[in-house]
Structure 1
Amino acid sequence: MATPYALTKEATYAIADNLAQASSLVLDLRIRLRTSLSNDEQALLEKHEDHLDMLVSLFRAYGIYLITEDAQQASSELVQAIDKGKARLKRTTDVKAGIDTAARLVDLGAAILSRDPVAVLEAAASLRSKPKKDAAAG
């Protein structure tokens, strides 16, 4: 059986703080694009923001645990991936791209909760990859 790998309290708080900043950027996006958001888009962004806030609370309360030999690599990629998502949220003017990025951040948080480093690595890679619209354009 694989050995659980617990991130230090400092690392856990750094990831939680980074996700809290991402949640704040989702709120900023909702405010910045409010005139072009449909009710459904507004609700979806708010839902993603709420999920990020919930994940932050869980990580701060219980820490972050990953399982298997890939845990060390997964933990080192978390902050980089979250930073990429935050940068995307800051610069986007496209509603769908903003919703997609917020959803990818929630997916990363859920992968962390699953304690599956492979899922964490996949979710982190998803955040680091270009959004579909950017990939098609360049």
Structure 2
Amino acid sequence: MLCKIVLSNLMFALCLYQLTASSIKSISKARLYKLVLEFMSVLFEYFLLCHFSETLDDSSARINRAITKSHWYKCSKDTRRDLCMLLRRTHGPNHLNFYKGVIVLSRAYFLSVVRLSYSFVNYMRLNISIS
């Protein structure tokens, strides 16, 4: 998954760079449509991955609230044991994370990737204009 995340970050930055670095008047309409479509595809795929991670966390919090507000302690012993295990599982944040929390997918992470990509594009454009 690390490769997927790193490649998605790189693809996002490179697609954004391609769109901003080249002059729109100098490329054909077909190539421009292709570049825009590639950029929108990468953006949409990456946003959905981060959005579904947030949805997973929200659903986990809702399950936790639903169990704690119910009268689970009035159930049978086996049901209480199972519900306690489920409560422990839904107690903390439940975002998609990889490598023991080094990469935690969320909308905030997506925004940081967008900011980093924009900084990369500005850096590259400054290097080209100085040369």
TM-score (norm 2): 0.33
The structure having more radius of gyration, on CA atoms, is 2
Give the TM-score taking structure 1 as reference length.
0.31
